[in-house]
Chain A
Amino acid sequence: MQLIQNRSRLNIRALLNAGLVVATVVLTGCVSPTFYVDTATREVPVAELKKPAQPKAVQLLFDFQTKGAPNSRAVSFLKDQVVDQVKGSGLFATVDEKPVPGGAVLNVTINNIPEADAAAKGFKVGLTFGASGTKVTDNYVCTVTYLPPDGGKSIVKVSQHAIHTTIGATEVPQNVNKAESVEVAVRTMTRQIIGTALKDLSLDPTFP
């Protein structure tokens, strides 16, 4: 009997639906996947964020979902990165995982919406040992919700991103940057999609 205390130790590939493709390919053949980060959403330097004159303390909630269902492994894997990014944004006086005086809350949710037939594609590639290549796309939607101190009106900003995975003999997707690994792809996507939403939040005239 194996006790899994920290599910973040599990294979990061399971973060992605592409992981399902990878898993099925690995089970049926020996073909390596390649990961690409879409370039439609780019890096957002901290300098592009509009810093508030009087930043507020905020409680940070982070959630990662797959098709709307919680994905706690992804949360464990990415939480520290997200906390560091929000702290480094300069938009808040302090960032804490516990409630803060005034009750301000910043919620960051990333929802992974994968292609419906990803697993079937993986089987096809695996069974042909890569001769039949395929590309699957994982789309991501980041929703940042800010609840101001003392019960003010909430602010919601949404950004989008995508990671493309190719397996076997297939063409390289357009408008992408190749990632060294799935870990790099996921961390890059997360940094860029949150950076975009935080920038939009910082530019909202009602913030903070």
Chain B
Amino acid sequence: MAMKNIIIKLSTSLLVAASILTTGCAQIALNQPKASIDNTQKARSANLAPAAVGKFVVDPTKSADLDTSISLRGSNKAISPVNGSFAQYLQATLTEELKTAGLLDPNSGAVISGFLTQSSVESFGTGKGVLGARFVVTRGGATRFDKELVATSTWETSFVAGIAVPAAANEYEGLYRKLIGILLDDADFKKALAR
């Protein structure tokens, strides 16, 4: 019985120590945007016209903070490596995807622009990430597509911040490619950019 109490007290002490050791604050820069094979295949099979990528900014009805940082857990934050802007990170992700698919043409009359509308991460218990943007496609100056699309992700989180925070950053980063995938799947988008 005495041994059991010692183990319980020791365990409690170690868990407290672990909690202290594993909490802190850090800023994690997302990795540079890159293309994904899923989106490359989607784009190539969609029979889309080559397009230019226009401006991507935070939705004017939202707080400017939405564009600059996101809390992963407590004071641990993720930041964008593209001019410190998540809207521009989305723009760069779309650019990479179209480039790899052979569908990027800066001189095209078809232009895809966007507004960042949602960006959030919860990383206690079941983690949840949300990324939303309103995409606009114009051809010859006329709007052909204007729709908000949202990508979400859920995952199991760890109580250890040193594991949970990088995992949340990875999940959040993955939402950008996922959102572009949703855009490429959208029937109205494909119609607006059809050859």
A residues apposed to B, CB below 8 Å: 1-5, 7, 10, 14, 19-20, 23-24, 27-29, 59, 61, 63, 66-67, 69-73, 75-76, 98-99, 103, 105, 107, 109, 119, 126-127, 145, 147, 151, 154
CB contacts under 8 Å to A, within B26-56, are 26-31, 34-37, 40-41, 44
What secondary structure prevails in chain B residues at the interface with A?
helix
Give Cα distance in the complex from A73 to B173, angstroms: 12
What secondary structure prevails in chain A residues at the interface with B?
mixed
Give Cα distance in the complex from A190 to B36, angstroms: 20
Chain A residue numbers with a CB within 8 Å of B41 are 147, 154
Question: What are 18 pairs between A and B in contact, CB < 8 Å?
Answer: A1-B26, A1-B75, A2-B27, A4-B27, A5-B29, A7-B28, A10-B166, A19-B163, A27-B15, A61-B36, A69-B155, A72-B30, A72-B173, A76-B31, A98-B99, A109-B37, A127-B7, A151-B44
B residues apposed to A, CB below 8 Å: 7, 10-11, 14-15, 17-18, 21-22, 24-31, 34-37, 40-41, 44, 75, 99-100, 102, 153, 155, 158, 160, 162-163, 166-167, 169-171, 173-174, 177
Q: Is the CB of B28 within 8 A of A69?
A: no
Smallest Cβ-Cβ distance to A144: which chain B residue: B37
Give Cα distance in the complex from A69 to B30, angstroms: 15
Q: Is the CB of B170 within 8 A of A70?
A: yes
Report how many A-B pairs have Cβ atoms within 8 Å.
101
In the complex, given contacts A24-B160, A28-B18, A127-B7, what are 9 additional A-B residue pairs having Cβ atoms less than 8 angstroms apart? A1-B26, A2-B26, A7-B28, A76-B31, A105-B40, A109-B37, A145-B37, A151-B44, A154-B41
